[in-house]
Each structure stands twice: as structure tokens, then as C-alpha cells.
Amino acid sequence: MFNNDTATAPMLFDLKRARRETPGCDHVMHLNNAAASLMPDSVLDAVFAHLRNEAMLGAYEAAAQAPVSSIFQSASSLLGCDPSEVAITDNATRSWNAAFNSVPLVTSDRILVSRSEFVNSSLTLLQASQRSGISIEVIPCDETGQLSVSHLRSMMDERVRLIVATHMPTNGGLVNPVADIGQVAREWNCLYLLDASQSIGQIPINVKSIGCHMLSAPGRKYLRGPRGTGILYVSNAIMDRLKVAESCQEAGTWPTFDQYIPHGDARRYEIGECSVALRPGLGAAIEYALGWGIENIWDRVHTLGELMQHSLDVLVNGYAAIQHEITLGLNALIDSDIDISHRFEKIAVEVVFRPANSFVRRATPLVE
């Protein structure tokens, strides 16, 4: 039930300051944060400052002066892990693929996956099944739409190599019980890969409490970082259980002609040639979010979610396809015969007419 008093109650959140520090607010009402958020001034300043250094000093010379170590420290504070367990990538898909492709798999292995995986992850899983003959099995949902932990537990055996789950799916507002999934993974000593693309930056995340061994996330969504940045967490505790998916000089050492030694931490997932200017922007975005406080951000999102649910119920003839907590990204599932595009002049919004993942409505050879 919508509570107007709750939705309008004063919070420890300075909206005027937030809008003042976000130049895009002067030009657009941006509701498409589930795709990419408007960047604050601090992120723009960090990127532009590095680009100016590149123009004045040269790209490699400017890179030598970039505050690289502080970015890993900030990311580790955000995730609740050690800086050595963090790699910076160019997007969430690359982070997810790098983690998945480093898991050794044989034909007899089983991978259990939630129904709400992003399409790129789903396609990677499908290709792995076709290439290696592994079994990809979809975990049923419970009556609320969340991944059913009881069904997951009943599916476990010694052949399950990996559990794959999404913290918050692309569409709707479902939040999966990620810590409960982590408990099942611990019970079976099974690897656990979590996609936090839609949750990082708006929901408090502690990878140790969740119990995931690997986590992928982008910088462009609720962290409000630049597009073309991503984060990968890989626990040091499982590094010896993983193979090297990619080899480059930044990811390890090459002491002799016939020997390559990958780094023993998440640095093995780093690449040398990247957009160095975007990395300080990502670091600034993480620090900006931490400065506001992720708990405060989540409280604000939750409050606006209640307000949005009430408003959408009125706007779309009482129909709002919203499950559980509602995010600020307006990816509303509405009937395909309703054309509302003309209503959104100067409003950045994405209207989705079907789930953007392959396990809900697409026919696949996967098992459930």
C-alpha cells in the first residue's frame, strides 16, 4: 500500500546539491539509469583532466601519473573486499565473461543459472553448452518471482561446478536472495558468479557477506561513471581453482620463453591497452557514491520506488509490472499496443515491451 507520508518524508539526502552537481539535470529529466546514468561534475572533471594530461604530455606519460591504486582501493571499499581482488575492465559483459571463462569445465559438469540472466550472459552459457557439452539448468522461481533457494538446494550435487545468478534483473525490480544463494554455494563448495549490473551503486553490496566468489558490474549505471568502464571481483580464496582465460603482459610475467605465470590475484584479468582516461572517472564515481552513502542512496531509491509504483498504477490504467523493490530505471513493461513515446519529450526513458533476457520467453535447449 502506498504511503504518501513515507514517500515525502525528509531524508538525509540533499537533492538540490545532487542536481546542482549533475549538469545534465538542466537539460533532461533522466529516468533511464538502468541503461546509463547522468554523470556528476566530479566524474567529468576527472576524465577531462586526464585527457588534458594526455594532450599535453602524451598518452603513456599521462598514464604513469594516473591515480591507479586509489581506484582499486575505492572499489574494494564499495564491495567489502581486498583491493587485490578487484580488476578494472571496460564493461560488465567483459567482466562476466572473464570470470566465467576462467572456470575449468568438463562435459560432466552442471551449471545452475537463474531465469533472469542478461542476454549476453545467456548467450555465453549457451555457447559453452554447445562447445563443451556441459549441462546448463535453469533454477525455478518461487511464488514472488525470486530465485527459489529451496529448488536450488534440491538441484545441488557434486557435479554442479558453478551457480550463476543476477542480483537485480534488467527489467522490473526483483531483488534475488543473493546471500541465501551464497550459503548454498558454501555448503557444496561450489563456485558462485553474481551479476550486480543493476544493483551496484544503489543497493549496499558486501561480497563476503553475500558469499559470491566472482562479481561483475558496470560503471555507467547506478554508479554514474563513464560508459566503457567495468568492475570485476574475484576472491583470492579461489584463485588456484581458476584457469587463465586470457594472457597478456599486464596479467602476469613471462620469465622464460616457454613459461607464463599469471598474477596470483585479480590483476590477472587486467588488460594493458584501455581507455586510461575513463578509469579516473570510474574512481571519482565510486568515491562520489561512497560520499553520499550507499545506505542513504538505497533509502532514497526505495522511497521513490513506492512513489513510482503508485504513479504507474494510475498512469497505465492500474497496471504496473513491478516486482518487489522498484529501481529508478524506468524499464516499465507495458502493453505493446500502447504508444506513449510522444509523452516523453525531454525525458530520457526506455520502454521495454518484453524481458531482455533469453530464459523467460525465448525457447532454448536449456533444462529446467
Asked whether residue 327 is assigned to any structural domain, the reply reads yes
- Do 197 and 344 have their domain in common? no
- Do 201 and 328 have their domain in common? no
Residue-wise pLDDT tens digits, 263-320:
889 999 988 788 999 999 999 999 999 999 999 999 998 888 888 777 777 766 544 4
Residue-wise pLDDT tens digits, 216-234:
999 999 999 999 999 999 9
Beta strands in 41-122 (DSSP E): 86-89, 110-113
Record the pTM: 0.85
- Do 248 and 283 have their domain in common? yes
165 membership: H or E segment, kind and range: strand 160-166
Which of 274, 290, 306 is the C-terminal boundary of a domain?
290
Residue pair 82/290 in contact by the 8 Å Cβ criterion: no
Asked whether residue 89 is assigned to any structural domain, the reply reads yes
- Do 251 and 341 have their domain in common? no
Residue-wise pLDDT tens digits, 108-155:
999 999 998 988 899 999 999 999 899 999 999 998 889 999 999 999
CA 182 to chain centre: 17
- Do 117 and 10 have their domain in common? no
- Do 62 and 26 have their domain in common? no
Q: Does residue 11 surpass a pLDDT of 90?
A: no
Which pLDDT value is given to residue 344? 53
Beta strands in 198-282 (DSSP E): 214-218, 230-234, 252-256, 259-262
Collect contacts of 56-64 with beta carbons under 8 A, ≥24 apart.
59/276, 62/276, 63/276
Asked whether residue 235 is assigned to any structural domain, the reply reads yes
Which pLDDT value is given to residue 30? 85
How many residues are given for the chain? Answer: 368
Asked whether residue 360 is assigned to any structural domain, the reply reads no
Backbone dihedral angles phi then psi of residue 162, each to the nearest 5 degrees: -155, 140
Mean pLDDT of 239-247: 86
Q: How many domains are there within the chain? A: 2
- The closest alpha carbon to 1, from 298, 317, 306, belongs to 306
Which pLDDT value is given to residue 359? 52
Which pLDDT value is given to residue 32? 86
Asked whether residue 355 is assigned to any structural domain, the reply reads no
Which of 290, 305, 322 is the C-terminal boundary of a domain?
290
- Do 218 and 165 have their domain in common? yes
Q: How confident is the model at residue 174 (pLDDT cuts 50, 70, 90)?
A: confident
Residue-wise pLDDT tens digits, 328-361:
344 433 334 445 454 555 666 665 544 445 454 4
Residue pair 291/266 in contact by the 8 Å Cβ criterion: no
- Do 34 and 57 have their domain in common? no
Beta strands in 7-150 (DSSP E): 29-30, 86-89, 110-113, 135-138
Q: Does residue 367 surpass a pLDDT of 70?
A: no
Q: What is the dihedral of CA 264, 286, 202, 218, to 10 degrees?
A: -60
226 or 33: which leads in pLDDT: 226
Residues 36, 225: Cα–Cα separation, whole Å: 9
Which pLDDT value is given to residue 202? 92
Asked whether residue 111 is assigned to any structural domain, the reply reads yes
Which pLDDT value is given to residue 342? 47
Q: Does residue 187 surpass a pLDDT of 50?
A: yes
- Do 242 and 259 have their domain in common? yes
- Do 332 and 272 have their domain in common? no
Structural domain including 326 reads 4-40+293-348
- Do 249 and 127 have their domain in common? yes
- For 66, residues 6+ apart whose C-beta sits below 8 A from its C-beta are 50, 276, 279, 280
Which pLDDT value is given to residue 203? 94
- Do 20 and 103 have their domain in common? no
Residue pair 62/276 in contact by the 8 Å Cβ criterion: yes
CATH number, domain with residue 181: 3.40.640.10
Asked whether residue 170 is assigned to any structural domain, the reply reads yes
Residue-wise pLDDT tens digits, 52-90:
999 999 999 999 888 888 999 999 999 999 999 999 999
Asked whether residue 356 is assigned to any structural domain, the reply reads no
Q: Which amino acid is at 318?
A: G
